[in-house]
Structure 1
Amino acid sequence: MVARHTTAAYRTAVLLGAGSDAEDVVQEAFVKGYRKLSRYRGESSFRSWLLAIVANETRNLHRSRDRRHGLVLRAARVDPGSEIVEDDAVAAILAGERRAALVRALRLLPARDREVIVCRYFLDLSEDETVTMLGWPRGTVKSRTSRALVKLRGLLAVEEVGHG
């Protein structure tokens, strides 16, 4: 169980804002998951059930920190090696800048919008898995995803004008 789901659990904790506490969050989630294993009924995928526990633990972390600073994503550092062709280096830098712009825009979204975008597009969860993970009604997941994408596109357009 642990080996198969650690990467997804860790990624979930980081994307939902656990930051440097992500390993602690994942460890606590696995302990709680193990204790609650008898309650898992198979109505949803085991992965989404477990990630819902990770999401709850991350929310608990935010509450214990007494702040909701939300998503902590680190833009990948671009470190073009000397062998990389110049065009590849330029493409890598541009990709890094786009990733950094996306991170900045995501941080500006309200927490619930950020959570649904992370689930659907960063964790690549299905609608059903997102419903399970966030504990929201299906209609809420659909409408919030749609509205959050519109907001995100708007923020990215502003970002492009401001930095382009």
Structure 2
Amino acid sequence: MKKFLKTLIPFDIAKGLSITGTYFAKVFLTANRAKVKQHVVSEYPEVPAPLEPRFRGRVQLILDEAGDPKCVCCNACAKACPTGVITIEGGKKEGRKTRIPTRWDYEMERCVFCGFCVEACSFDAIKLNSQFELAAYDREDFSLGLTGAHNVLEPSPVGKFSYSDEA
């Protein structure tokens, strides 16, 4: 008889529904009468979303005091990248002892945001910023370089609220 009842009425489902029902009743009966916050939602577009401290966003080059990239074209980040999305070509600039990148390309559509490039850079020339809204309509928007509308020196102009100055 027990086996028949177990197959007829699954007790695990009934137990789960009873727990859910008690929480639903507790919120439903107290939300409008007491000073209890009814919704636990963030107003995302108006209020920037809180990010975790170790969030890994898009790669961004860091500039030095003179306004040039800190990168010295050692190719450590390109070698450390498991998907090979970074391409660097270096050259000399007059008045500077170290090399400077003449071409620094980053293919964001193939990036896995692992952070190996940041760890490999011993000059702290690149970082993963806190930009999380990376959607685009064109594939060309995912190819970033040193110049142009989409470059690695500043955040992508994708979303108005997708970048916070915390990182």
TM interval, shorter chain, is under 0.3
Greater helix share, structure number: 1
Name which structure has the greater RCO, CA cutoff 8 Å, separation 6+: 1
Greater Rg, structure 1 or structure 2? 2
TM-score by length of 2: 0.22
Greater strand share, structure number: 2
TM-score by length of 1: 0.22
